Amino acid sequence: MSVTSRQVFRKSEVSMLVSHQSRRLMAAQHQPPPLSDISGSLIFSFSWLLVMSIGLMPLVEGALDRSPSITMPTTIAFLVAVGSAVLLRRRYSWIGLVLHIFGQIAIWLSLFVMSLAAVLVLIPKG
């Protein structure tokens, strides 16, 4: 059974069509959410607000004359970052979700370390 050039051309034509359709479908799946998507915006904003406020917890604990805790804010910040990414998974691509988690943990860590340093240096233990 010999394969003619017409059959080879037809197969390449079909494979190009399939790859074009899959690229178009992939581009349609990962479009940024519309501005009218208020639930996604609220989840995104609230998770960032929560992570930043958790980063400032050592200041509150220092004002309450307690020694700053590290374990609980770390656990809460990680759960908020991953939980918000799970809620946003249909709205963003996987790389966007990874960057969301990484960004939230980086911001939390920087705020936490700076507020912890401020508590340890500025509030005298007498």
pLDDT tens digits along 89-109:
888 888 989 999 999 999 999
**Distance separating alpha carbons of residues 122 and 119, to the nearest angstrom:** 6
- Clarify whether residues 112 and 59 are in a common domain: yes
- Clarify whether residues 65 and 102 are in a common domain: yes
- Clarify whether residues 64 and 4 are in a common domain: no
- Torsion-angle region of residue 65: left (phi > 0), alpha (psi -120 to 50) or beta? left
At residue 31, what are phi and psi to the nearest 5 degrees?
-80, 150
- Clarify whether residues 69 and 118 are in a common domain: yes
- Clarify whether residues 71 and 25 are in a common domain: no
- Clarify whether residues 14 and 47 are in a common domain: no
- Clarify whether residues 8 and 55 are in a common domain: no
- Which residue, 3, 126, 110, 95, is CA-closest to 52? 110
| Structural domain boundaries, residue 12 | 1-30
- Clarify whether residues 101 and 73 are in a common domain: yes
Count of domains observed in the chain? 2
- Clarify whether residues 87 and 57 are in a common domain: yes
The upper half-sphere exposure of residue 108, i.e. CA atoms within 13 Å in the direction of its Cβ, equals: 25
Torsion on CA atoms 33, 39, 43, 45, rounded to nearest 10: 80
Arithmetic mean of pLDDT over the chain: 80
Cα 100 vs. chain centroid, distance in angstroms?
2
- Condensed to tens digits (0 to 9), the pLDDT of residues 48-93 reads 999 999 999 988 888 888 888 888 889 999 999 999 999 888 888 8
